[in-house]
Amino acid sequence: MTIRGPEEPVCLPQGFRFSCAQAGIKASRKTDLALAVAPGGTAAAAMFTRNRAAAAPIIIGRAHLQETRGCLRAVLVNSGNANCGTGDCGLRAAAACCSALARDLKITPGSVLPSSTGIIGVPLPAGKIVTAIPILARSLASGEKALRAFGRAIMTTDLRPKLASAEFSIRGEIVSVAGVAKGAGMIHPNMATMLVYIFSDIKASPAALRRQLQAAVDVSFNAISVDGDTSTNDTALLLASGASGVKLAAAGVETPFADALRGICASLAEQIVRDGEGARHLVRLRIEAASSPAEARAVACSIANSPLVKTAWAGCDPNWGRLFAMLGNSGYPFDPARASIDLGPHRVYANGRALPFDRKAAHELMKGPEYTIRVRLGRGRAALDFLTCDLTEEYIRINAEYST
Amino acid sequence: MTIRGPEEPVCLPQGFRFSCAQAGIKASRKTDLALAVAPGGTAAAAMFTRNRAAAAPIIIGRAHLQETRGCLRAVLVNSGNANCGTGDCGLRAAAACCSALARDLKITPGSVLPSSTGIIGVPLPAGKIVTAIPILARSLASGEKALRAFGRAIMTTDLRPKLASAEFSIRGEIVSVAGVAKGAGMIHPNMATMLVYIFSDIKASPAALRRQLQAAVDVSFNAISVDGDTSTNDTALLLASGASGVKLAAAGVETPFADALRGICASLAEQIVRDGEGARHLVRLRIEAASSPAEARAVACSIANSPLVKTAWAGCDPNWGRLFAMLGNSGYPFDPARASIDLGPHRVYANGRALPFDRKAAHELMKGPEYTIRVRLGRGRAALDFLTCDLTEEYIRINAEYST
């Protein structure tokens, strides 16, 4: 399955229209309001943040999906304000935006899924959004340009829009899947300030979509970390308009659709880490010979969340001792005598001790934009690929200056 | 109980002698070997790192304490090399250093506790240490100057030596307690690259010392975080020579000795956080109304380990929303409607929503060297004081350039 990246023409699913507007939430005067509409309705499945300080749109979105049993008509996203830590007023503000859009589009408020991203603890300026809704609704369009504009309007500290798409044919009918995402910081498994919207024209039930989404998110968005912070607003939404006329095969997750979905999620996850705040190096962690998938993930997180490891990467420093130290911090047993560590092609640690390696060549490798670190734990047969990045002075600059 | 800081004259316990030397482990040519000897023997209790990639000296030290049932004669510390990730060779190297010292002092190797701190994964140059041991043993002295030199020789990235002491009298007899510590990064509960040695001339059993140490460490070294990394070499050692002739009262931890120990540990812990790598602001987290001490600690760690929160502190940015988001990430239930957040005297969040506050005054407060953030969870009666610091570009610079 070929996955098209952000620079390539989009495989555009039928049955959706997109638009964006400048509501004045962002001080930068960039677009900050995005709308996707499925005029014929769409099946939907979503995964939300596990942060227990979940934002108002998460609470409303969950309720709307339950109310409609996973059948939506529209997705309304604002950037620049997370509508989190805003209590009952925040819930009312999110509901008011959904209602205003519903009135304009002549749909039910419950069929609108709201999303927000941006600063936490500042009341959402719902009035600005309500005012912009008629413009937003009038400018809906179905082309690639409209989808790309949607993708740009949901950005916050992102430097680049994130987009991936794929298509496949079943008995001569073409099915398209396209996803957009935002996220550059607060990125961590169980999701991050990460918004992901994946549109397809396949025909599928909300329950089937849910299974597909869970499987794809597990190995993509739940296997990346920029800074270890789990956001209050994370959302991954999968929509299926059915407009292609092709029905999703019942046979589990080994289908062309599953391939496309997994590929798109993997591509978007990688785009997010590549755009990690201040990141200069993409690091592919390959954890092998773990006793369970959970152990592999815990070890990957222990490495990926260590400021000392991440600053060594920033310095292109083959100081693998810091990484070794984190192997003992995963909460699982650790056997130093059976573990090994490879920096790219250089085996630096095995059989309980440091191995001689070409430090200069390893330093050169680490100066590159990406490389792989392979850790074998010698405890079992589970493995995991995990993407992360270095921690640079630029990360500090970006985040020390964000709100003031 | 008055605790004397590093600038004040030391309350020097009897029964100990100290020395240091330059063995050539550190490239900087600073002293890197420190020795403390109790000529008449000393009862000992230690707490070690919970990192499962524990360094060789930790493994040897645990064995020696067990072998001697907590009766030591000497402590041998090197800085510049952690002797971790070094396998069997590392164990042999640590044992060789203990044996060489034991021969010189005519004591058993098991009565020596070894400690190491520095780079991980590099073989310990045991030969350099063995060569320096005769000089080290010959220069032992019992004065304040010798203790201070011991404290300087154990430093790595520390900018300042850490020292605290206290004395009290019981029936006319004076008991002294003095502690030295090192640590500036890799600082996190369950200890950090933190070495702490506390000397007293009280008379106590190893078991009684252990209870005292556990209670004091819990509210000091286990309630601080610089960067969330738990090191492979952490050690807190409490020694009691008995030379004062005063016996520790059996009555639990509510004794003048317990007061002195707690005060010294609290002072050393604060000195460590103040010296946190690149830190410009000491932040006192006060977690209140938690349902349990464990919950209070989890919430404090969730805040103290968040790069987004710590960078906001670096920017003196009263963006409390990031901190709010972390309240939902502790792994415990969170009730936004009952929680409140105070930045110094400014209540910024309560009753489920942002409160108006003087942002300029809050910004001024956060420009100061230290301030308190108080979080009430509204879930119970447990409370915890926790010390942490901001995350600055200087932290990155220090750690991106450490080994190369």
DSSP string across A179-222: EEEE-SSS--SS--S-EEEEEE--B--HHHHHHHHHHHHHTTGG
A224: left (phi over 0), alpha (psi -120 to 50) or beta: beta
Per-residue pLDDT at B183: 84
A317/B121 touch (CB, cutoff 8 Å), yes or no: no
Together in a domain, B56 and B203: yes
CA separation for the pair B264, B213 (Å, rounded):
11
Q: What is the tally of structural domains in chain B?
A: 2
Which two structure tokens, joined as six digits, stand for B133? 């041991």
The closest of B323, B281, B277, B273 to B300, measured between CA atoms, is B323
CA separation for the pair A316, A325 (Å, rounded):
18
List of chain B residues whose C-beta atoms are within 8 Å of the C-beta of residue A231: 325
CATH value at residue B393? 3.10.20.340
Together in a domain, B394 and B258: no
For A232, the closest chain B residue by CA position comes to: B325
Res A188 pLDDT > 60: no
Q: Residue B194 to residues A94, A201, B15, B65, B116: CA-CA distances in angstroms?
A: 48, 58, 24, 19, 10
Calculate Rg over the CA atoms of chain B.
22
Res B254 pLDDT > 70: no
Res A108 pLDDT > 80: yes
A120/B322 touch (CB, cutoff 8 Å), yes or no: yes
Q: Residue B330 to residues A226, A280, B390: CA-CA distances in angstroms?
A: 19, 30, 19
- Among B88, B232, B319, the residue with its CB nearest the CB of A325 is B232
Q: Which residue has the higher pLDDT, A237 or B225?
A: A237
List of chain A residues whose C-beta atoms are within 8 Å of the C-beta of residue B402: 312, 315, 317, 319
Res A132 pLDDT > 50: yes
Residue B149 domain-assigned? yes
A333/B401 touch (CB, cutoff 8 Å), yes or no: no
Per-residue pLDDT at B190: 46
Together in a domain, A195 and A249: yes
Q: Which of B248, B274, B300 is the last residue of a domain?
A: B274
- Among A51, A122, A317, the residue with its CB nearest the CB of B404 is A317
Per-residue pLDDT at B134: 97
List of chain B residues whose C-beta atoms are within 8 Å of the C-beta of residue A401: 315, 317
CA separation for the pair A292, A288 (Å, rounded):
10
Question: If pLDDT is split at 50, 70 and 90, which confidence band does A192 have?
Answer: very low
Together in a domain, B211 and B140: yes
Catalytic residues of B: 193
Per-residue pLDDT at A191: 41
Together in a domain, B241 and B382: no
For B324, the closest chain A residue by CA position comes to: A85
B229/A329 touch (CB, cutoff 8 Å), yes or no: yes
Average pLDDT over residues B327-331: 90
Residue A370 domain-assigned? yes
Residue to substitute from B225, B343, B399, interface A, most A β-carbons within 10 A = B399
How close A216 gets to chain B, by Cα (Å)?
23
Together in a domain, B180 and B261: yes
Which two structure tokens, joined as six digits, stand for A103? 């009135």
Together in a domain, A289 and A229: no
Res A156 pLDDT > 90: no
Q: Which of B229, B257, B274 is the last residue of a domain?
A: B274
Together in a domain, A85 and A208: yes
- Among A120, A314, A328, the residue with its CB nearest the CB of B400 is A314
A404/B317 touch (CB, cutoff 8 Å), yes or no: yes
Residue B392 domain-assigned? yes
Name the residue range of residue B26's domain: 17-274
How close A369 gets to chain B, by Cα (Å)?
16
Element at B62 (helix H, strand E): helix B56-67
Element at B284 (helix H, strand E): strand B282-290
Tell me: the pLDDT tens digits for A274-325? Answer: 888 788 999 999 999 999 999 999 999 999 988 889 999 999 999 898 899 8
How close B370 gets to chain A, by Cα (Å)?
17
* Residue for token pair 């998460």: A58
B311/A352 touch (CB, cutoff 8 Å), yes or no: no
Q: Which of B221, B253, B274 is the last residue of a domain?
A: B274
Average pLDDT over residues A23-44: 95
Together in a domain, B219 and B171: yes
For B82, the closest chain A residue by CA position comes to: A321
Residue A1 domain-assigned? no
- Among A119, A392, A393, the residue with its CB nearest the CB of B321 is A119
pTM value is 0.86
Per-residue pLDDT at B191: 40
CATH value at residue B264? 3.60.70.12
Q: Residue A111 to residues A86, A165, A309, B354, B356: CA-CA distances in angstroms?
A: 23, 25, 45, 29, 35
Per-residue pLDDT at A275: 87
Residue B378 domain-assigned? yes
Residue A5 domain-assigned? no
How close A74 gets to chain B, by Cα (Å)?
27
Per-residue pLDDT at A57: 96
Residue A3 domain-assigned? no
Residue to substitute from A48, A194, A329, interface B, most B β-carbons within 10 A = A329
Chains A, B: CB contacts under 8 A, how many? 233
Together in a domain, A235 and A150: yes
Residue B6 domain-assigned? no
Q: Which residue has the higher pLDDT, B165 or B273?
A: B165
Together in a domain, A199 and A256: yes
Together in a domain, B224 and B311: no
